[in-house]
Amino acid sequence: MLDEPDVRLNAWVHGHVQGVGFRWWIRARALELGLSGFAANKSDGRVHVVARGSRAACQRLLDLLQGGGTPGHVEAVIVDWSTAGDPIEGFSER
């Protein structure tokens, strides 16, 4: 089987997701999955998640975001997939 190219997942998470350990939780899951990227609070209450890595690992992170086991309460996740783009070092909380 050929190696698939890495991808970039952009996910805008809506709900009660700030001030509840959400970004820390995302970072821990992303690192477990071998992903790089970041999770950033937005001024409108959303959290923007950018994850870079294999399509399967990014999909697993997305499944976790949508699965109901997160800190706080996720109401919706808006998703955009793209090519991997430039490398990202580690996974940070912003």
List, by residue number, the catalytic residues: 23, 41
Q: Which tokens sit at 48?
A: 């923007």
- The amino acid sitting at 32 is E
In what helix (H) or strand (E) does residue 65 lie, and over which residues does it extend? helix 55-66
Best CA proximity match to 9, nearest among 85, 79, 86: 79
Instruction: Please state, in angstroms and rounded to a whole number, the distance separating the CA atoms of residues 62 and 72.
Output: 16
Strand partners, 15: 74
